[in-house]
């Protein structure tokens, strides 16, 4: 701040303060106007539901901040669902890198308690636990840039004090690799002690936990595919075969070597056999969806917001923690 000739401060700081306050108020006004724009967009999308009593709700996580699906989302979901009430068709717009599979299971149950027909709409990315939520729908709506992902469970590890989500399967595979190296060393009559020391250093209870998480993801996906998306498939043996095909591919690290590997709408529909509605880039529904999504994504990136859960009549956000 500039100083006057006598060594004191001028009134310039007051001017700066007014400018800061003005900026904050303007920013708030922008957020409010954008909320109204998104509200109208959600309302507009209802016309694509062909006369049904339908509702659109959105659940979007900031990928730049590493926001994941967790237990804090449940009360917010319950609140937003209460704002729309029971409907014939509930459409969940979801964009998330994944998170807790047990929460994904509860979100499916919450949504299904309010509707007869449950659809999941993916504007961009629905990975891991978000993919599990999609598998719990009657139909998945995807566009030319939409993607699902492997249902490998994620665990949090700290790297330099920063939390990172790592596939649980990675820890399981590391143990298997060491065990194979140990067997090869014994077979070839080499010194196996270094490998044995590495195996002994592994956290056995943690790896056991990883195995249970992976199995849980498969069990949840199997339950909902059988109950809803593949419910009309007879005989039962045919249904089981179709579900096994989906689960084997979505949980295979040989096919999808990294957690972020893209599974586009065409692959989900033709290769996995999922009930997918594909929207072209010029489809009116896709344009309306993209109109909504881009505005929500800007809010996530520019205003220290990590999550949005909203309907046309309810708006909840989770702010970034700076502690």
The residue whose two tokens read 């659940």 is 59
**What does each C-alpha distance from 240 to 131, 140, 234, 272 come to in angstroms?**
19, 20, 10, 13
The residue whose two tokens read 């509860």 is 106
Asked if residue 290 is part of any domain, the answer here is yes
Better-predicted residue by pLDDT, 129 or 164 = 129
Confidence (pTM): 0.81
The domain containing residue 81 runs over which residues?
Answer: 53-156+204-319
Asked if residue 164 is part of any domain, the answer here is no
Report helix angle 168-187 to 193-201, nearest 10: 160
Tens-place pLDDT, residues 209-245: 888 888 889 999 999 999 999 999 988 899 999 999 9
3-state class (DSSP) for residue 55? strand
Asked if residue 273 is part of any domain, the answer here is yes
| DSSP H or E segment with residue 250 | helix 236-250
Measured distance CA(232)–CA(128) in Å, rounded:
25
Any idea what the CATH number is for the domain that residue 120 is in? 3.90.226.10
Asked if residue 248 is part of any domain, the answer here is yes
Measured distance CA(226)–CA(233) in Å, rounded:
9
> What's the pLDDT score for residue 67?
82
Q: Number of structural domains, the chain? A: 1
Asked if residue 209 is part of any domain, the answer here is yes
Tens-place pLDDT, residues 2-30: 444 444 434 444 544 445 555 555 555 67
Asked if residue 22 is part of any domain, the answer here is no
Asked if residue 19 is part of any domain, the answer here is no
Asked if residue 244 is part of any domain, the answer here is yes
Q: How far is CA 161 from the centre of its chain?
A: 23
């Amino acid at each position: 701040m500039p100083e006057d000739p006598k060594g004191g401060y001028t009134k310039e700081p007051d001017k700066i303060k007014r400018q800061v306050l003005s900026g904050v108020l303007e920013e708030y006004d922008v957020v409010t106007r954008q909320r109204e724009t998104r509200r109208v967009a959600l309302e507009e999308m209802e016309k694509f539901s062909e006369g049904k009593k339908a509702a659109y709700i959105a659940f979007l996580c900031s990928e730049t901040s590493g926001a994941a699906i967790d237990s804090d989302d449940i009360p917010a979901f319950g609140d937003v669902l209460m704002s729309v009430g029971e409907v014939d068709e509930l459409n969940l717009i979801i964009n998330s890198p994944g998170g807790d599979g047990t929460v994904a299971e509860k979100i499916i149950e919450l949504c299904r308690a309010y509707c007869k027909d449950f659809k999941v709409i993916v504007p961009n990315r629905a990975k891991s636990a978000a993919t599990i939520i999609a598998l719990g729908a009657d139909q998945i709506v995807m566009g030319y840039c939409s993607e699902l992902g492997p249902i490998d469970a994620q665990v949090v590890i700290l790297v330099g004090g920063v939390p990172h989500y790592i596939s649980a399967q990675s820890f399981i595979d590391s143990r298997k690799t060491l065990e194979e190296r140990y067997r090869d060393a014994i077979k070839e009559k080499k010194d196996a002690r270094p490998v044995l020391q590495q195996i002994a250093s592994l956290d056995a209870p943690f790896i056991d936990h990883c195995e249970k998480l992976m199995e849980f993801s498969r069990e949840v996906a199997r339950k909902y595919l059988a109950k809803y998306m593949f419910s009309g498939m007879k005989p039962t043996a045919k249904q089981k075969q179709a579900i096994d095909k989906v689960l084997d591919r979505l949980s295979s690290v040989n096919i999808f070597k990294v957690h972020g590997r893209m599974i586009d709408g065409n692959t989900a529909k033709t290769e996995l056999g999922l009930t997918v509605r594909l929207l072209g880039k010029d489809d009116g529904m896709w344009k309306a969806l993209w109109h909504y999504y881009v505005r929500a994504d800007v809010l996530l990136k520019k205003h220290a917001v990590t999550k949005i859960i909203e309907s046309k009549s309810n708006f909840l956000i989770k702010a970034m923690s700076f502690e």
